[in-house]
Amino acid sequence: MFLALRDLRFATGRFSLMGAVVALITVLLVMLSGLTAGLGHQNTAVLDDAEAAGADLVVFGGTAGQKPTASFTQSEITAAQRDAWAGVDGVAAVDPVGLSQGRLVGLASDVTPDAEGRADTSGADVGGVATAAFVGVEPGAVHAPAGLGDGEIVLSESLAEEAGVAAGDQVASSGFVLTVAGVVADSWYSHTPVAWTSREDWTALTHVADDEVLGTAALVGVADGADAWAVSAAGDAAAGTLAMNVPDSYDALPAYSSENGSLTMMQGFLYGISALVVVAFLSIWTIQRTREIATLKALGASTGWVLRDALLQGGIVLALGVTVGTAVAVGAGALAAGAVPFVLDLGTTVLPALGVLALGLAGSALAVARVTRIDPLIALGGN
Amino acid sequence: MTAIDRTPDLSVYRRPHHDADRTAAAGPAGAEGTGGSPALSVRDLVLEYPDGEGRTLRALDEVSLDLAAGTFTALTGPSGSGKSSLLAVAAGLVSPTSGTVHVAGTELTALPRAERTRLRGDRIGVVFQQPNLLPSLTAREQLELTAHLDRDASRADRRASGARALNLLERVDLAAHADKRPHQLSGGQRQRVNIVRALMSSPSVLLVDEPTSALDRERSAAVIELLGTLTREEGAATLMVTHDVEFLAAVDRTLTMVDGRLSGA
């Protein structure tokens, strides 16, 4: 500590440079982690909400009776498959759910739809147009928003704002007119804010011609004490479906894997770069200090003393750099969250910061390990 | 493994001068301290190493030497004669091919590397040819550092080392420069710090490697005179390797080394 602190004070510029690089990498990592989590949340929020409401499994079927596919764009769940799942021991609930994306038009003045809910809105006053993720659910199901009924729609907050409507107003989509039953906190599916309709209305909005088709997938709740894996296998065998837990179903979202994979790979590179920067800096620093270290050893410093001193020095610079970087990133992230999908929590701030610190310390150990090989004889004789 | 008696070393930062018995043993021509034990005793030392062409070079050839506490001995000889090799072996930096080195009664050559390092910190002071001062430390901190290298030193010992450091700097007229870093000191001042740093732990043996090689005539004479004074005051057994035979009035004894063999011992 005696020498480490004095070296830090003496070579402030040099260590500040290293600390600044560590801080910048930490800023990048925390920002990237926050963005990855934010984009991920915008992809999967509706599934996470369903899981929180009690869904344990997501069940996929095949298109028009084909082999089941884990894809939210290709899967179809039929009434027969729902019934087969409902008969499996350990299944507490089976709820088909429709998922699709489309245009939503907010109407500034009311129109009168026909008995099927259709209306000509070509001349109507428009409050706003938005892209919505239509989620068709059985009204009253655990993951359905409260107050939803046939002919009604519940909107995510940002969707209602974009469409210029509030509860009681009307919206139109695919020639159908629905009344806004409520506006709730944002939920997302594939980067699009969610609009909940009844399953009946969803099949109409998406022009599903086959009456047997109930939705895109089914959400299955497993009874308390039942083995989810066993239930999953039994359900798939009985219904000819493909079931998986909710997090595994993320990969069935279009572009989720490539998007998340790219961002995670960038994070990996940044972790690697942070360790390399520390190794490079401390290696050069140690080489420059060769004669000093030889002198310390010749004066009676044990290798352990020299090693501890060098590691402490690296640790202090790393800790300061990571702390400053995290603080800056948290501030920048809070600002960015207003404009881009960004999640600011322990997982996106403390975790990457600890990652940089841990890898940096490992890099420090690697770099300063060479002090063990420095011969104190170097201090004697001038070479 | 030979046990090291560390008891006196824990008090060196509180007690600047040597133990009474070691001071009493000091004498210009004495080769033995009180109780018949020289501060540094070298016996039949041989150091061989391969020259890279399949031959073996003998840097030290059956060298024997006793140095008593409080004596100042110069070691001269042509380049390559083995002077620095003897210093390196005596400091425990190099293991000899055969023979023994005893420092204050402890057989240095029988100790494992870690214990040799420890003994060097406690009992051996090394004055380097180049001052090798640490750039981030002030003159006073260069000296205090030695207390921090001692893993057995308590916090109180380390605090007390400041007074000892200041005392030593005063004795070499550097008290006014105690808070200066190496780049703020002249060459002669740096060398004086180098010398008193080696004395911080009140070593039994002071090994000095060509301390005047980078100094002019006037400063060289002053440095060697200072080494003689401090040797007697501190009661150390000083062995100085030097080429400057013209400044040897201050030494008690001069030994000459030729082809790894010692004469005058």
SS3 readout for B148-162:
HHCCCCCHHHHHHHH
To the nearest whole percent, how much of chain A has pLDDT over 90?
A: 73
The per-residue pLDDT for B36 is: 57
The per-residue pLDDT for B4 is: 37
Q: Do B120 and A298 touch (CB under 8 A)?
A: yes
Which amino acid, residue B243? H
Q: Rounded to two decimals, what is the model's pTM?
A: 0.78
Task: In whole angstroms, give the CA distance from residue A104 to residue A108.
Answer: 13
What's the average model confidence in pLDDT over A247-271? 91
The per-residue pLDDT for B18 is: 36
Among A35-39, A55-59, A336-340, which stretch is predicted with the lowest mean pLDDT? A336-340
Interface test with A, best of B108, B122, B136, B205 (most A CBs within 10 A): B136
β-sheet bridge partners, residue B60: B47
Task: In whole angstroms, give the CA distance from residue A22 to residue A210.
Answer: 59
From the CA of A294, how many Å to the nearest CA of chain B? 9
Residue A312 near residue A4, CB atoms below 8 Å: yes
Q: Which chain B positions have a beta carbon within 8 Å of A10's beta carbon?
A: 135-136, 181
Across chain A, the runs of DSSP E, i.e. the strands, are 57-60, 77-78, 91-107, 126-137, 152-156, 170-173, 176-184, 188-189, 192-198, 213-215, 217-222, 242-245
Among A113-122, B4-13, B59-68, B126-135, which stretch is predicted with the lowest mean pLDDT? B4-13
Q: Do A3 and B148 touch (CB under 8 A)?
A: yes
The per-residue pLDDT for B248 is: 85
The per-residue pLDDT for A381 is: 61
Looking at chain B from residue 63 to 82, which residues have their Cβ under 8 Å from any Cβ of chain A?
A: none
Question: Per the structure block, which two tokens stand in for A31?
Answer: 């920002």
Helix (H, G, I), strand (E, B) or coil at B214: coil
Q: Which chain B positions have a beta carbon within 8 Å of A296's beta carbon?
A: 134, 149
Is the pLDDT at B12 greater than 50? The verdict is no
Q: Which of A7, A302, A377 sits opposite B114 (nearest CB)?
A: A302
From the CA of A380, how many Å to the nearest CA of chain B? 6
Task: Work out the mean pLDDT of chain B and round it to a whole number.
Answer: 82
Which amino acid, residue A36? T
Strand duo B237-241 + B205-209: pairing: parallel
What's the average model confidence in pLDDT over B156-174? 88
Among A149-153, B28-32, B49-53, which stretch is predicted with the lowest mean pLDDT? B28-32
Q: Do B93 and A381 touch (CB under 8 A)?
A: no
The closest alpha carbon to B18, from B235, B237, B238, belongs to: B235
Which amino acid, residue A196? W
CA dihedral B105, B109, B114, B119 (to 10 degrees): 30
Residue B6 sits at the chain A interface (C-beta within 8 Å): no
Q: Which of B137, B151, B197 sits opposite A6 (nearest CB)?
A: B137
Q: Which chain A positions have a beta carbon within 8 Å of B87's beta carbon?
A: 380
Question: For residue A355, what are the contacts with CB-CB under 8 A and spacing of at least 6?
Answer: A29, A271
Residue A100 near residue A206, CB atoms below 8 Å: yes
Q: Do A291 and B132 touch (CB under 8 A)?
A: yes
Residue B196 sits at the chain A interface (C-beta within 8 Å): no
Q: Which chain A positions have a beta carbon within 8 Å of B91's beta carbon?
A: 298, 380
Which residue in chain B is spatially nearest to A293 when comparing CA positions?
B134
The per-residue pLDDT for B147 is: 87
The per-residue pLDDT for A250 is: 95
pLDDT digits (tens, 9 = 90+) for A174-194: 999 999 999 999 999 999 999
Strand duo B124-127 + A242-245: pairing: unpaired
Interface test with B, best of A7, A288, A299, A312 (most B CBs within 10 A): A299
Q: Do A3 and B130 touch (CB under 8 A)?
A: no
The dihedrals phi and psi of B256, each to the nearest 5 degrees, come to -125, 140
Neighbours of B3 (CB within 10 A): 8
Question: Per the structure block, which two tokens stand in for A229?
Answer: 């894996």
Q: Which of A300, A303, A381 sits opposite B120 (nearest CB)?
A: A300
β-sheet bridge partners, residue B258: B261
Is the pLDDT at B29 greater than 80? The verdict is no
Q: Do A302 and B117 touch (CB under 8 A)?
A: yes
What's the average model confidence in pLDDT over A337-345? 90
The per-residue pLDDT for B152 is: 75
The per-residue pLDDT for B265 is: 57
User: For the CA atoms of chain A, what is the radius of gyration?
Assistant: 29
Q: Which of B84, B146, B151 sits opposite A380 (nearest CB)?
A: B84
